[in-house]
Amino acid sequence: MSALSDSIDEKALCKDESQMKLIPLITAILVTGFLYFLVFERDVLIAFAQASEMETADDPPETSEEVAKPAKIIRVFARKSVARQIDSAVVMRGETEAARSVEVRAQTSGQVVSEPLRKGSFVTADQMLCQIDVGTREESLAEANALLAEASARVPEASARLDEAMARLDEAKINDNAASKLSEGGFASETRVASAQAAVRAAEAAVAGAKSGLKSTGAGIQSAEAAIASVQKDIDRLEITAPFKGLLETDSAELGSLMQPGALCATILQLDPMKLVGFVPETDVDRVEVGAIAGARLSDGQEVQGRVTFLSRSADKTTRTFRVEIQVPNADLKIRDGQTAKIIVSADGAKAHLLPQSALTLNDDGDLGVRIVDDNSLAQFRELTLLRDTSEGVWVAGLPEVADVITIGQEYVVDGVAVVATFEEPKQ
């Protein structure tokens, strides 16, 4: 009897244990289903809840003592935002660039006879950078001058010969004319007429030869002058000077080195004023104008200000951006060539709201915006345009003049959901 009782107790205990194991399993299934509807089917769940609440509100109470339950309303935090006028600046990334950078090169050959200038040295305009040995150029110049003097000395003689030939031609023409008239009256023979005509032709040939000699003398003068100019130009190129004031980026050519045409003497940079170069996207290019005020923060924290001096009319084929150049003063030469810069160009002002970044959200289509509370206390999504990102928040456009923006709880509501907003004061 005792064994039978123990067996019954063991069966009851096993049954209780099975029931206890089944209860957590059912609870887990219910919790998992609730979480699924809450996360993945939130819109359906909210719509079902609202429909149930509306049906409950429409049903008349069964008795006069029964009171209808109020609909469930989501509580959120909101901020009453008022649009303000701001400068709608165009922000871009860029770098510093020297106003001018020139590689000064030799135009003639020869050995360098000047001491080199070291990189980093400040040079003025027309300061000598490299001096090339004159070699035999001065002798060539003297020879060209002598040829010019010789050719010039032959000019009077050639002119005299031409004058003499012209006089003989005039005399021959007179004799030929006289012989022709005498021959017509029978007072001169045909031989005399032929001799007079031959004398005219000989005089004409002499005139042509004299003119040719004078032209040859003139050509000799021009050749000598060209030789002088060539040698003189070559001598002038022996001194390689700085085209403008600036800093040497490289050492100038070393003493004793052989220079050939095209060989590098030195590289010089003009750093005052300095250029800031950025690239603006085609969506913002119409907001940038030449002459607009612009500022930049360099990689070392230095802040500079200047004006836009150039805006490209042709887009880069790869990036579809337009080059913008800004000129800034750099009298102390603190700005270096090639520094990274964050550039801001002022543009026409616009109405905008200053909101915390945490208030931004996305709709089902992936559009960036915020949710606001409309006049009927319903949540509504509004797509925004970002204008500027600051440490205080983001400046956005796309909202009405005054808007109640949900700052906390916007992720838990959708369009048309009734909300109760607790308003907070905006941070100044």
Per-residue tens of pLDDT for the chain, all 428 residues: 444 445 545 555 455 555 556 677 777 777 676 666 665 566 655 655 555 554 444 444 444 444 444 456 889 999 999 998 876 678 899 999 999 999 999 999 999 999 999 998 999 999 999 999 999 999 999 998 998 888 888 888 888 888 888 888 888 888 878 778 777 776 667 777 788 788 888 888 888 888 888 888 888 889 889 999 999 999 999 999 999 999 999 999 999 999 999 999 999 999 999 999 999 988 888 889 999 999 999 988 999 999 999 999 999 999 999 999 999 999 888 999 999 999 999 877 778 899 999 999 999 888 999 999 998 999 999 999 887 777 888 888 889 999 999 999 898 899 989 999 888 765 55
Does the residue 50 lie in any domain? yes
Residue 304 shares a structural domain with residue 225: no
DSSP per residue, 84-95: EEEE--EEEEEE
Asked, for residue 98, whether it belongs to a domain, the answer is no
Residue 321 to residues 96, 286, 316: CA-CA distances in angstroms?
18, 12, 5
Tell me whether residue 67 is in a domain. no
CA 234 – CA 257 distance, rounded (Å): 18
Number of domains in the chain: 5
Q: Evaluate the omega torsion of the peptide bond into residue 70 and state whether it is cis, within 30 degrees of 0.
A: no
CA 309/CA 286 separation, integer angstroms: 15
Residue 40 has a pLDDT of: 59
Q: Is residue 70 part of a domain?
A: no
Enumerate the H helices of 40-106 as residue ranges.
Answer: 42-58
Residue 38 lies in a domain: yes
Q: What was the pLDDT predicted at 66?
A: 42
Against a cut of 0.85, is the pTM above it?
Answer: no
Same domain, 397 and 387: yes
Residue 371: count other Cβ atoms within 10 Å of its Cβ: 27
C-alpha span between 260 and 275 (Å, rounded): 33
Domain boundary among 348, 372, 390: 348
Quick one: which H or E segment has residue 82? strand 74-82
Instruction: Round to whole Å and give the CA distance between 413 and 417.
Output: 6
121 and 153 in one domain? no
* In-domain check, residue 99: no
Specify whether 386 is located in the same domain as 344: no
Indicate whether 146 and 224 sit together in one domain. yes
Note the pLDDT of residue 10: 56
Residue with tokens 């009453």: 80
Q: How many CB atoms lie within 10 A of CB 360?
A: 18
Say yes or no: 355 and 408 in one domain.
yes
- On whether both 404 and 360 belong to a single domain, the answer is yes
Domain assignment present for residue 68? The answer is: no
What is the pLDDT at residue 1?
Answer: 46
CA–centroid distance for 293 within its chain: 16
H helices of 185-283, in order, are 190-236
Cα gap 390→137, rounded to integer Å: 68
pLDDT number for residue 2: 47
Look at residue 170 in the predicted model and tell me its pLDDT: 86
Do 223 and 157 lie in a common domain? Answer: yes
Domain of residue 294 covers: 267-348
Do 342 and 354 belong to one domain? no
Assess whether 150 and 232 both reside in one domain. Answer: yes
* Model pLDDT, residue 50: 57
The answer to whether residue 35 sits within a structural domain is yes
